Amino acid sequence: MSDSAAGQIDHVLDETRLFPPAAEFTEKAVISSQEQYEDLYRRALEDRDGFWKEQALEHLHWFEPFGDVCQWEAPHAKWFVGGKTNASYNCVDRNIDQGRGDKVAIIWEGEPGDTRTLTYNELKVEVCKCAAALKELGIGQGDVVSIYMPMTPELAIAMLACARIGAIHSVIFAGFSAESIADRNQDAEAKLVITSDGLHRRGKVLPLKKTVDEALEKSPSVQTCLVLKRVGNDAPMTEGRDVWWHDVVDKQSGDLPAEPLDSETTLFILYTSGSTGKPKGIRHTTAGYNLWAKRTFDWVFDHRDDDIYWCTADCGWITGHSYIVYGPLTAGATCLMYEGAPNFPAEDRFWELVEKYKVTILYTAPTAIRAFIKWGDEHVEKHDLSSLRLLGSVGEGINPEAWMWYHEKIGGGRCPIVDTWWQTETGGLMMSPLPGITPTKPGSCTRPLPGVSPAIIDESGSAVEGENGGMLCIDQPWPGMLRGVWGDDERFVDTYWATVPGKYLTGDNARRDSDGYYWIMGRIDDVINVSGHRLSTIEVESALVSHDAVAEAAVVGRPDDIKGQAICAFVTVTTADPGDELRQELRQHVRKQIGALAQPDDIRFAASVPKTRSGKIMRRLLRDIAAGREAAGDTSTLEDYSVLAKLREEGS
């Protein structure tokens, strides 16, 4: 048996470009020397308790001090045991205490172009009012509140209002169906739902409240529905259950003290889909999560007082939780929040926003970057993007060609790119370049942050060294780690801790190169095995995307009698009427870039590939299509069902 057949992955695509940080960036950076990083990294692991004690005392407000820093009985962790803090206090009041009351916390722009700014003082008033209203509606500590709202300031306000009184928020992305909302309401036994009459999307109005009404027919635990008027349609209101935000929130006093909460109080649950079974409610707690979001934000986004920071995610995802709300607000940042689509009214909306608000830090996703490339450079070139100093990427691996485009066209060649690898479960960033010191390689999330101890493990459970890949695990607890799966400890243990005992299984494959840089190779289940060689999907996809005619590619394996698996590539192209000639050319292109081994057996041209609602390519469904099977498993997170039907037709 060859090495690769024994569970290692053949690393095939050779990316050797290296981009060192510019000296002027390094000079002012939060982490400005390699020694400083090495020292933080060493201390966080060698003197874990001492390190995190210092961090927690300096970066969070404590109503009552904690005792033990970390109690760890794998897989259950407690951090800052017995201490009392409050995430809403840390995000709002603490900034006011430190003299930032008049600083702008949120600059918001709605899709129709309406705008609003809130200083930290103003944000506090809004959060207090909403928290007081929730109390009046019978919500208290430990109650679950589902939030199904457009990206308005009230979404962040509602999250912080829950945090203020110890209620647990469960944000549900406002693109999910009634069925998905009902599932989540039931699983969490939500008592109250916050929604709006509707939301603006690409110039249309979506009737959110109607969807919620449908969900509430199957959500017996929900007693109250709090409704924000956003679009002014005639949303149906049910007497005795539904109340308007402006009726119950606006009249409250703007001063409600934050509840001192135990460090391990559940702050929120956030549902993520698994490949099988119903979505899991990932549970995060107060102090550890809050500290992790804050410190990773400081380190990686190199935050300075005059930054205008924009994370383009939706608060319905973990990225919105940690890097629109908890991280940046605890750090006292000024955050831009945008409600709508990137291509409304035109494909330059993001760049118009960057220019208008002089955004300095932009954090977005590869799926967006690939769309911008497809839409054409002219939309970017219309705008002055010189305010930008730092760019971030999250959600999927970024193909090196997309990385180069981001670097050159958006970053003007001067902005470092932080490719941040992390998960809903990790609470915050785990591996990322530090923009002042890390020379970057397109496609690599580089190195672990202080406190993160990754291990690459083969199928026999042993650590794998060197360039060959394996399962990415984390072998030490960190403050932001998930504390469980809501209501299902067995699933928590089985999913994350049973495969490699005592280590957290991320579900991703990764390899580490000779510089100690990590390369995420995709989900473990996505690995393709061609004649005993295990290939990573992202490398074959990146080779395809580096061809001029290719906008996006998704690569999966399908059963093959001779090779075990054959490679099937779904390709979205920029040219009209692609045919056999281009197919041949793309095969040759991959052969040249990687080798004959990685040459796709099938190439299917597709108008689009199926993605999750957060923009990740859903290879699991493509595997079924490639094999000619019906798509199995949970499809509730699929963004557009019609894509599946089209692909099936094209394949037949």
Annotated binding site: 201-204, 319, 343, 395-397, 419-424, 508, 523, 531, 534, 545, 547, 550, 591
Do the Cβ atoms of 189 and 181 come closer than 8 Å?
Answer: no
Residue 111 as a binder of ligand 6R9 (CB under 6 A): the answer is: no
Single out the residue of 103, 201, 523, 583 in contact with ligand 6R9 (rule: CB under 6 A).
Answer: 523
Site string for ligand 6R9, 467-506 (x = CB under 6 A): ---------------------------------------x
Q: Point out the residue whose Cβ comes nearest to ligand 6R9.
A: 424
Which of 174/249 has CB closer to ligand 6R9?
Answer: 174
Which of 507/557 has CB closer to ligand 6R9?
Answer: 507
Residues paired with residue 225 on neighbouring β-strands, in sequence order: 193, 242
Q: How far is the CB of 577 from ligand 6R9 (least distance, A)?
A: 33
Which of 235/485 has CB closer to ligand 6R9?
Answer: 485
| Annotated binding-site ranges for ATP | 395-397, 419-424, 508, 523, 534
Q: How far is the CB of 393 from ligand 6R9 (least distance, A)?
A: 6
Contacts of 288 (CB under 8 A, 6+ apart): 77, 79, 80, 263, 264, 427, 479, 480, 481
302 C-beta neighbours (distance < 10 Å), count: 23
Q: How far is the CB of 614 from ligand 6R9 (least distance, A)?
A: 6
Which of 285/599 has CB closer to ligand 6R9?
Answer: 285
Residue bearing tokens 């919620």: 212
Which of 430/571 has CB closer to ligand 6R9?
Answer: 430
Contacts of 98 (CB under 8 A, 6+ apart): 332
User: What three-state secondary structure class fits 215?
Assistant: helix
Per-residue tokens: 426: 């990790």
Residue 396 as a binder of ligand 6R9 (CB under 6 A): the answer is: yes
Q: How far is the CB of 443 from ligand 6R9 (least distance, A)?
A: 9
Applying the rule CB under 6 A, the residues between 427 and 456 that interact with ligand 6R9 are 445
Give the C-alpha separation, 71 to 482, whole Å.
Answer: 14
Q: How far is the CB of 217 from ligand 6R9 (least distance, A)?
A: 29
Per-residue tokens: 569: 């590539």
78 C-beta neighbours (distance < 10 Å), count: 21
Distances from the Cα of 131 to the Cαs of 161, 248, 255, 268, in angstroms? Answer: 4, 11, 10, 15
Give the C-alpha separation, 420 to 553, whole Å.
Answer: 21
Residue bearing tokens 């984390």: 474
Give the C-alpha separation, 222 to 207, whole Å.
Answer: 20
CA angle 541, 542, 545 (to 5 degrees): 85
φ/ψ (deg, to 5) at 82: 80, -5
Which of 531/636 has CB closer to ligand 6R9?
Answer: 636
Single out the residue of 180, 224, 272, 542 in contact with ligand 6R9 (rule: CB under 6 A).
Answer: 272
Which of 336/510 has CB closer to ligand 6R9?
Answer: 510
| Annotated binding-site ranges for Mg(2+) | 545, 547, 550
| Annotated binding-site ranges for CoA | 201-204, 319, 343, 531, 591
CA angle 82, 85, 86 (to 5 degrees): 140
Single out the residue of 336, 394, 568, 582 in contact with ligand 6R9 (rule: CB under 6 A).
Answer: 394
Contacts of 519 (CB under 8 A, 6+ apart): 11, 443, 444, 445, 469, 510, 511, 512, 513
Our CA dihedral for 195, 198, 201, 202, rounded to 10 degrees, sits at -170
Distances from the Cα of 249 to the Cαs of 92, 159, 221, 284, 622, in angstroms? Answer: 18, 14, 22, 27, 46
Residue 347 as a binder of ligand 6R9 (CB under 6 A): the answer is: no
Distance from the first to the final alpha carbon of the chain: 37
φ/ψ (deg, to 5) at 601: -80, -45
Q: How far is the CB of 422 from ligand 6R9 (least distance, A)?
A: 5
Give the C-alpha separation, 89 to 97, whole Å.
Answer: 10
Stretch that binds ligand 6R9, among 14-22, 250-258, 388-396, 461-469 (CB under 6 A): 388-396
How many residues form the binding site for ligand 6R9 (CB under 6 A)?
21
Stretch that binds ligand 6R9, among 175-183, 248-256, 390-398, 489-497 (CB under 6 A): 390-398
Which of 424/599 has CB closer to ligand 6R9?
Answer: 424
Which of 300/586 has CB closer to ligand 6R9?
Answer: 300
Single out the residue of 230, 614, 618, 624 in contact with ligand 6R9 (rule: CB under 6 A).
Answer: 614
Applying the rule CB under 6 A, the residues between 397 and 426 that interact with ligand 6R9 are 397, 419-424
Where does this chain bind ligand 6R9 (CB under 6 A)? 272, 317-319, 394-397, 419-424, 445, 506-508, 520, 523, 614
